[in-house]
Amino acid sequence: MFSQINNDALACVIKSNPEFEPIIKTIIDDNKKTTSMFVHELRNPLSLLKGTIQYIEQKHPEAASYKYWDQMEDLLDDMEHIMADASLLNICNYIHKENVNLITLINNVTSSFMPQALTEHIDLAITVEPGSEEYFNSYPCDSIKIKQVLGNLIKNAFEATKAGNYIHINLKYLPGECPLPSKLSIQISNNGYQIPDDVIHDIFIPFVTHKKGGTGIGLALVKKVIDLHYGSICVDSNPDLTSFTIQLPL
């Protein structure tokens, strides 16, 4: 996945040379094919291994009582989940852009969380910086994947907050500084629990999770979708405020 610097550079290149975008997509497609082949080749021996273990247990029921037998089956299940997550990340290599009113889109996503906010007594609100609204009215993006990004970030914010806390979404326009393009900023902030310092640095890395029962895929998908829009996402967290800030190039 790209860094903010690389995404800014790509946005500048595509803005100046639109003909380069198909080349970049071709590179991404090649990467997807390689990943798909890798996952496919792993699935075949894994399926054979699971089938062999089941056959042994069927023919020799006493094997189930052997030390570490259950642990071996659990490890195989974990491998299957990891490959499924890898496939999910791989699917995210494609986006379908169309002009979207981002304010309407964000309002719709936020409204779907409003019943939860009322039930849990969380102040959920959106603000648009003065003079910024016109820049959000028609933005080329994949609306379905942007909805997934916002839904994921808002869901995580709810998990970090409690009654009396707030989740605020702030939208604003950021003028560009040559040669960088102007940007749209979408910031989701809450005053709930702080993200620990030893966690925050690898929070977007696939399959790395510090959440019980987590897969390490949610925020990795968020970053990948933003990368595909040549944008960036960063996180800041302290005892008073945690903010995820998305920047999308204009």
| Residue 76 resides in a domain | yes
pLDDT at 9: 67
pLDDT at 67: 77
| Residue 12 resides in a domain | no
Query: Do 133 and 225 belong together in one domain?
Result: yes
| Residue 167 resides in a domain | yes
User: What CATH number is attached to the domain comprising 186?
Assistant: 3.30.565.10
| Residue 65 resides in a domain | yes
Query: Do 58 and 138 belong together in one domain?
Result: no
pLDDT at 126: 96
Q: How far is 223 from 232, CA to CA, in rounded Å?
A: 7
Query: Do 134 and 32 belong together in one domain?
Result: no
Q: Among 59, 91, 123, identify where a domain stops.
A: 91
Query: Do 156 and 172 belong together in one domain?
Result: yes
Which helix (H) or strand (E) segment holds residue 135: the answer is: helix 133-136
Query: Do 137 and 42 belong together in one domain?
Result: no
* Residue 125 lies in domain: 98-249
* pLDDT per position as a tens digit, 43-67: 778 888 888 888 888 888 888 888 7
| Residue 13 resides in a domain | no
Query: Do 135 and 34 belong together in one domain?
Result: no
Q: Among 91, 125, 148, identify where a domain stops.
A: 91
Q: Are strands 123-128 and 166-174 parallel, antiparallel or unpaired?
A: parallel
Q: How far is 145 from 94, CA to CA, in rounded Å?
A: 10
Distance between first and last Cα of the chain: 20
Query: Do 228 and 114 belong together in one domain?
Result: yes
Query: Do 53 and 152 belong together in one domain?
Result: no
Q: How many domains does the chain have?
A: 2
Contact 209, 216 (CB under 8 A): yes
pLDDT < 50: residue spans in the chain: 1-5
pLDDT at 1: 46
| Residue 80 resides in a domain | yes
Query: Do 112 and 161 belong together in one domain?
Result: yes
Give 190's strand partners.
Answer: 167, 242
| Residue 5 resides in a domain | no
Query: Do 163 and 191 belong together in one domain?
Result: yes
| Residue 1 resides in a domain | no
